[in-house]
A and B are shown apart, each in its own frame.
Chain A
Amino acid sequence: MSGLGEAAPTGAAAIWRGRLAVWAALLALLGATLALAYVPLGRFGLVVALGIAAAKALLVVLLFMHLRKPDPLLRLTAFASLVFVAFLLTLTFADVLTRAAPTQPGTVLPRSGPDLPATGQRAF
């Protein structure tokens, strides 16, 4: 494969051949993630499901979206957003996972009854 990826396939058969293999791999991964979803893996179920999703996304990004072609500008642009997603998740969960229990949303159940009338004591 040439450095700039200019060696693109020119015949219809060659174009189909390369992409059908990727498609078959994607469908195989879909079958795998569907089957594994019914296997009791406990908390690793989510890890497996997201791992397979990441593998599928990587196949699409590298082979359908041409990032296998060593173009530094495009690769940098494509993956820059993931850095910010990492910040987003890290800082959000640094808050969510370290709060004291009473300030967690889940610990105070929403009231289903009517609100108490606002009396003098409650008005602040």
Chain B
Amino acid sequence: MPATALRKPWRSLRRQREAAGFGLWVFLGSEVMFFACALTGYAVYRTLWNADFLAAARETNVVYGTLNTAILLTSSLTMAVAAEGARAGLRRLTLACLAATIAFGLAFLVVKGFEYREDIERHLLPGPGFALPAPAAQIFFAFYWLLTGVHALHMTIGLGVTATLLWQAWRRSRPLRSPAFEVAGLYWHFVDIVWIFLYPLLYLAGRA
């Protein structure tokens, strides 16, 4: 039984695509508010203890952070090509680019894992035995762990969604014209944008 892209309530694929995009943008609005709350907390504490925050931010590993930013931007490229390829009906391009996106996403998490291990070895986990003397440095690292952790969780969800789509496209159980590819791309790019803002706030602060 060949699967069809057009689903029940919609009369045309264009309307369905519009509705899917609209729905995902509404969801992304709630995600923006979620991350904005944590970032506002960061902004408030950085205003109050700017010097301590800058000194603490110098302790993060800028090499891992920059590498991960480049990996994530590249994964956004392959995701965008996959979504556009699916829309144009280019099966091989879509499958290859979805697989590349998953590979880059996994590479991001692996680098993040190495970074977390280094942070834990250097006692940068807030609590007893914390490496830095300034009390506000612990607040910075509380935000560091919270923000990067929640971001990594979003990455993991995105990887699950992308892997599902790759599997369905591979099995031909989801036609390439389905709006799902584009919508999964929107989510992936949003997670990328979150990192684009985390990178200067957590890694580049206090380097000068």
Chain A interface (Cβ < 8 Å from any Cβ of B)? 6, 8-12, 15-16, 19-20, 22-23, 26-27, 30, 33-34, 37-41, 45-46, 49-50, 52-53, 56-57, 60-61, 63-66, 71, 73-74, 77-78, 80-82, 84-85, 88-89, 92-93, 96-97, 104-106, 109-110
Quick one: closest A residue to B200, CB to CB?
A: A49
The verdict on B116 contacting chain A, using a C-beta distance below 8 Å, is no
Contact B197 A41, beta carbon cutoff 8 Å: no
Complex alpha-carbon distance, A61 and B79, angstroms? 13
Chain B interface (Cβ < 8 Å from any Cβ of A)? 14, 18, 21-22, 25-26, 28-30, 32-33, 36-37, 40, 43-44, 47-49, 62, 66, 69-70, 73-74, 76-77, 79-81, 84-85, 87-88, 90, 93, 135, 182, 185-186, 189-190, 192-193, 196-197, 199-201, 204-205, 207-208
Complex alpha-carbon distance, A74 and B19, angstroms? 10
> Which 10 pairs across A and B sit closest by C-beta, in order of nearness?
A49-B200, A81-B29, A37-B204, A81-B32, A77-B25, A23-B77, A40-B208, A106-B48, A37-B207, A85-B36
Contact B208 A15, beta carbon cutoff 8 Å: no
Complex alpha-carbon distance, A90 and B177, angstroms? 43
Name B's interface SS.
helix
A30: chain B residues at CB < 8 Å are 66, 69-70, 73
Complex alpha-carbon distance, A66 and B87, angstroms? 13
Complex alpha-carbon distance, A4 and B79, angstroms? 22
Complex alpha-carbon distance, A26 and B32, angstroms? 21
B69: chain A residues at CB < 8 Å are 30
Name A's interface SS.
helix
Contact B48 A46, beta carbon cutoff 8 Å: no
Contact A81 B33, beta carbon cutoff 8 Å: yes
**CB-defined A-B contacts under 8 Å, sample of 23:** A6-B14, A12-B93, A20-B77, A26-B73, A33-B204, A34-B66, A46-B200, A46-B205, A49-B205, A52-B200, A56-B73, A56-B196, A64-B189, A65-B189, A73-B18, A77-B26, A81-B33, A82-B32, A85-B32, A85-B36, A93-B44, A96-B44, A96-B48
